[in-house]
A and B are shown apart, each in its own frame.
Chain A
Amino acid sequence: MRREIVFGGATLVLSAVYYWLADRLPVSQLSDAIGPEGLPKIYALALAALSFILIIGAVADRRRAAQASESRAPLSRVAGVLLMGVAYIVLAPWIGYPVAIAALIAATTYYQGGAFTREAALVAVSGGVLFWLLFVVLMGIEQPAGIWR
């Protein structure tokens, strides 16, 4: 239940920030009766109300089932996978698509528990070539060129 309280708190903060941003939208001379901020403000208020209901419900459930244990997700591992994606975004324009995608395959494979072996390296390089052939050569879809420009 604690995670629902945290989530409800996060959506409550989000609704406040979203309302504040909607309130700061510039007024247009062409504006209609509702205006660009009209529905966003309604959404923000509705989200705030639902967040309260979620938090109150979670607190009540917590009292009822205080002993209930919650499984913990491997957040650090998930963050690691996301960081690899971010590294791809940063590096692909520099090192180019085939190398970046091979590196992404190699890193993900290793991170998911694969061994750092000659076979794994071969699979990653083959994957890089395969994806380059599939997307760039066969389908004609441009990918970040990098040093291969």
Chain B
Amino acid sequence: MALLLPFTYGMDPTVAVVLLAATYVGAEYGGSIPAILIRTPGTNAAAATVLDGYAMKQQGRAGEALGISLYSGFVGGIVGLVVLVLLTEPLSRVALAFTPPAYFALGVLGLSVIGSVSGGSLVKGLIAALLGLMIATIGTDPVTGTSRFTFGSPELLSGIPPILVMVGLFAIGELLAQTGEPGWEKASADSARIRFPGPAMWKRIARPQAIGSVMGTIEGVMPGGGGTISAFLAYNEARRWSSHPEEFGKGSPEGIAAPEAANNTVACTALIPMLSLGIPSSNSSAVLLGGFLIHGLVPGPMLFVRNPEVVTGLYWGLLVANIAMLILGYLIMTPCLWLVNRPKPYLMGFIYAFVVSGVYSIEGSLFHVGVALGFGALGYVMRYLKIPFLPMVLGVVLGFLVESNYRRALVLSSGDHSTFLRDPLAAGLLLVAVTFIVVTVVRHLRAGREATA
């Protein structure tokens, strides 16, 4: 997705957003292919699929495993889409009630998920978020117009576009991390003919698919949830409710159906907080947010008022993407395997060329290419130090919203901070944010205590 982001610059906004969202949907299924064939999950969310998918492959049932994965992903995707359409619109109806204090509180709520997306270290997550907030202060001050931290460079007057941070951290950082790594294992084309499940199998995997869809809905809507957590939760619940729990880990079809339904449900439901509140809850939805921003679309409350056609187009696009995934997932397996089996040095060369060409396309600026390379280096260091990316992206994306509305609210209230508590929407959002922060801190402290015990 991060690779495609700059590539969408010349496209119609709706087409660009649908392309990115469809890539997200496709990647959730695509991640299961290497998980099943070469025991390497293509995405984090596909890690749970490795357990039974690779075991089925070893039993000579790779085609069946791929078919269950594809079919379950389709079911999960459609359930997620229905939930997305039903929940997003009502949540966005509060749009017109937003004032500067409420926007500030919304930004704080977005930042409050940092703890839950920080992995094992809250301190590292907070440092990453602060670095993101600091990056967001570069450029022209939102209230006085003073230029800050630009070092006299005109290119920095309008700030550092979040898309450069995302492409650098995700795409170039990954390219650098792959440098020096051994080549990928080759996938055999013979073992990859998809076999769709028959009626008996449909019946058997219906329950784990339902469990996966429920888990995907809950985790997707929650900021910081994400496909990986939902996939493992669904896997555990499917095993608990299964009439064949002993087969799990040894090639159970239910062990593929549950996580695949879950992570494909999340692909749609994770868009709910992003579309309605402008808060990305996962790396993929953060990249999709970047797709909105480079087309001047601001996800959040006003998107439904100003650009309803983009939202409708996105819904239809996701429906088409899910149906296309079912058809193309079957048809393009062979060419996909040909592509991933190309020698790694050639693939790396083409990916690098694609990234620099795409970044230049955004504003025709080689300076931007340099900035993206810089963030690529930072992304590599962050990977090395196990510092999470998403808090930094949240800081970059929400920094301007938080600062500009905080200061505007204080200007309007003559410096009275109680304005944030007098506005009922702002007070409610801040209360939710504080609750979220307290719960996260308590959870981290408890985890730390258990680790040292």
Contacts and interface: CB of A to CB of B under 8 A. Distances in A.
Interface residues of A, number: 68
Contact of B134 (A18, A92, A141): A18
Given A32-B143, A84-B352, A109-B348, A3 B10 contact: no
Interface of A is mostly: helix
A10 B111 CA distance: 24
Given A32-B144, A36-B146, A36-B148, A123 B346 contact: yes
A73 B126 CA distance: 24
Interface in B107-161: 123-124, 126-127, 130-131, 133-134, 137, 141, 143-146, 148-149
B51 interface: no
A141 B146 contact: no
Given A89-B366, A101-B357, A28 B126 contact: no
B345 A109 contact: yes
A22 B403 CA distance: 15
B176 A81 contact: yes
Interface of B is mostly: helix
Interface string B379-413: 01100110100000000000000010011001100
Nearest to A97: B357
A105 B349 contact: yes
Contact of A26 (B137, B146, B345): B146
Contacts of B175: 81
20 contacts: A7-B381, A7-B385, A28-B144, A32-B411, A34-B143, A40-B137, A40-B149, A54-B127, A77-B179, A78-B380, A80-B179, A85-B369, A89-B369, A104-B352, A105-B353, A108-B345, A123-B346, A124-B349, A135-B361, A144-B360
Given A44-B134, A47-B127, A131-B353, 11 more contacts: A39-B406, A78-B180, A85-B369, A101-B357, A104-B349, A104-B353, A104-B356, A113-B345, A123-B346, A127-B353, A140-B10
Interface of A: 3-4, 7, 11, 18, 21-22, 25-26, 28, 30-36, 38-40, 43-44, 46-47, 50-51, 53-54, 57, 73-74, 77-78, 80-82, 84-86, 88-89, 92-93, 97, 101, 104-114, 120, 123-124, 127, 131, 135, 139-144
